[in-house]
Amino acid sequence: MSSCTGISVSLSWLVILHIMLRLHRAATHTPLRLSKTAIHILRIRACRGFATGSQPYDTIVIGGGPGGYVAAIKAAQLGLRTACIEKRGSLGGTCLNVGCIPSKAMLNNSHLYHQTQHDLKARGIDVSGVQLNLSQMLKAKDSSVTALTKGIETLFKQNKVDYIKGEATFESATRLSVNLLDGGQSEVEGKNIIIATGSEVTPFPGIEIDESQIVSSTGALDLQKVPEKMIVIGGGIIGLEMGSVWSRLGSEVTVVEFLPFIGGPGLDEELGKQFQKILKKQGLIFKTNTKVLSAEKIGGKVQVKVESAKGGAEETIDADVLLVAIGRRPVTKNLGLEKIGVEMDNKGRVVIDDQYNTSVQGIKCIGDVTFGPMLAHKAEEEGIAAAEFIATGHGHVNYGVIPSVIYTHPEVAWVGKTEQELKNEGVKYKVGRFPFAANSRAKTNKDSEGSVKFLAEAETDRVLGVHIMGPCAGELIASASLAMEYSASSEDIARTCHAHPTLSEAFKEAAMAAYSSPIHF
């Protein structure tokens, strides 16, 4: 590894300089003397050499997020000479830097704060003088992010992935120009290129985000004081998670959602209604079936005008902070895709086939910038599959078993089909339910809100979908994904011994309810 940027180069700057000196001496019979500045410039240029026309990379990945960095590591593990280009200056993409990871830090720590205030006394733990130290909570979040992003750099070194810090633009189907973050420009060539540039916040027309008073999820993770009132536009996963954080820390949070339900696509309607009731009980205010018309900063407040989604009288609500969380969109700006003829759809997504090939030979695409749910773990699976396609000609992702999780409290997680989807498809199915209120571990922990719901094919008993709301739902859903990957029946799960007392017994008993009857309910 080169010490200058962590990038492997075929010749160190010392070797290059030595060759130049010898050539000069042979030609002139006199020694060549270079200034310190000239030597420094030679060293930088050697470090930025990356690859030459005669030495193209086997694989170049544009983007160092969950899909990109995983693709790069897997490609290297499969014996491909690999580089990863990332313009942020730190690896991990939105997920590690301003998304999944920092939000989970805030969710966990705000839950501990809220639990200390409202729950510990009933458990026989008397605590007094509890105060929020928001600056320390934000530091804890940042330290988690730094540790994990640095960890990926270590993984790159271990797997011999060249890490290029800069913004890449296609010059041709095999050559990229890179504006380096530390100044200057370079070009790299690759036999195969994987686009993994991720997504960015979708703006709300007419509302300008300043990341201080009108914020995206990025700004919501770094507010320097708890707002007295917060309005969240969008009742999907991001809006509910961020709304929960600031509600626990003392803010009055109002969630405005255009649809009649919260949680976004994939959330089971039955569980979604229960979920909304629980969040309302926690203090969140919901305005569903409501359309946002405008938002304006007036007198230190943000005034938001809304009306019924079906039309009606305008209403103005105000807050100290407005969070815009209406979704995300693909990032393709400055890539130069039009120049080389990469096809995109009307939503700005890169069009791919079932092997992640774009319309241009040798260029693949994965993650948020193309089709499918914008989930880090989905992008990771695609990264591995894309690398395998390049190295071996085959790869696979089962899109029927990509789980989703809302990391509120209680958590909500699901995989596979919903009841609504099965009805629309005309599939005959049976349902098994089991409440955490009947689970011994959940009752003992005084954390028993929610339930597990199984959907199984009526004729074959094959599990078609699992929906969980309750403690550790995000962990429990992995068992459902594994079972569905192997086409398990609900009876297969029900007849598998689960340890007692554990939350996983609720999972087992819901499976029992689907194929026969549960024991404890």
- What is the CA 291 to chain-centroid distance, rounded? 27
**Which two structure tokens, joined as six digits, stand for 117?**
């205030």
Average pLDDT over residues 349-370: 98
Q: Which residues contact 37 (CB under 8 A, 6 or more apart)?
A: none
Neighbours of 182 (CB within 10 A): 12
**What gap in Å lies between CA 468 and CA 465, rounded to an integer?**
10
Pairs from 250-254 (Cβ < 8 Å, separation ≥ 24) = 250/132, 250/226, 251/226, 251/227, 251/321, 252/228, 252/283, 252/285, 253/229, 253/283, 253/284, 253/285, 254/229, 254/230, 254/284, 254/285, 254/286, 254/287, 254/317, 254/319
CA-closest candidate to residue 513, choices 466, 447, 450: 466
pLDDT for 312 equals 87
Q: How many CA atoms lie within 13 A of 364 on its CB side?
A: 28
Average pLDDT over residues 417-422: 97
Which H or E element spans position 482?
Answer: helix 473-485
pLDDT at 42: 43
Nearest 5°: phi and psi at 153? -60, -40
pLDDT at 19 (0 to 100): 52
Query: What one-character DSSP code corresponds to residue 304?
Result: E
Answer whether 472's CB lies under 8 Å from 497's CB: no
Find how far residue 64's CA is from the centre of its chain.
12
Rounded mean pLDDT of 220-227?
98
Per-residue pLDDT of 22-65, as tens digits, reads 554 555 555 555 444 344 334 434 444 444 445 899 999 999 99
CA-closest candidate to residue 275, choices 236, 242, 314, 313: 236
- The average pLDDT across 345-360 equals 98
Answer yes or no: is pLDDT of 442 > 50.
Answer: yes
> Contact 413/473 with Cβ under 8 angstroms?
yes
Query: What's the pLDDT band for 414 if we cut at 50, 70, 90?
Result: very high
Residue 120, Cα to own-chain centre: how many angstroms? 32
Task: State the alpha helices, DSSP H only, in 59-216.
Answer: 66-77, 93-98, 100-118, 134-158
**Residue with the two structure tokens 């750099």:** 153
- pLDDT at position 28: 54
pLDDT at 289: 97
Q: Residues 253-311: pLDDT tens digits?
A: 999 999 999 999 899 999 999 999 999 999 999 999 999 999 999 999 999 999 999 98
Helix (H) or strand (E) holding 492: helix 490-494
In angstroms, the CA 457 to CA 479 distance is 18
User: What phi-psi label fits residue 129: left (phi over 0), alpha (psi between -120 and 50 degrees) or beta?
Assistant: left
Nearest alpha-carbon partner for 449 in 288, 262, 281 = 281
Name which of 54-58, 187-191, 257-261, 503-507 the model is least confident about.
54-58
Q: Phi and psi (nearest 5°) for 412? A: -130, 130
| Share above pLDDT 90 across residues of the chain, in percent, rounded to a whole number | 89
Confidence of residue 155 (pLDDT cuts 50, 70, 90): very high
Mean pLDDT of 208-221: 98
373 neighbors 402 (Cβ within 8 angstroms) = yes
Q: What local confidence, expressed as pLDDT, does residue 49 receive?
A: 43
Residue 20 is predicted with a pLDDT of 53
The pLDDT mean for the chain works out to 92
When pLDDT is cut at 50, 70 and 90, the band that residue 466 belongs to is very high
Tokens of 481: 């994904």
Q: What is the DSSP string of 90-126?
A: SSSHHHHHHSHHHHHHHHHHHHHHHHHHHTTGGGT--
Residue 174 has pLDDT above 90, yes or no: yes
The pLDDT of residue 25: 53
- Gap between the Cα atoms of 102 and 453, Å rounded: 30
DSSP 519: S
Return d(Cα 120, Cα 123) in angstroms, integer: 5
Q: Which of 18, 40, 118, 500 is catalytic?
A: 500
Q: Would you say residue 231 has pLDDT above 80? A: yes
Our answer to whether residue 24 is catalytic in this structure is no
Query: Is the pLDDT reported for residue 484 higher than 50?
Result: yes
**Using an 8 Å Cβ cutoff, are 430 and 417 in contact?**
no
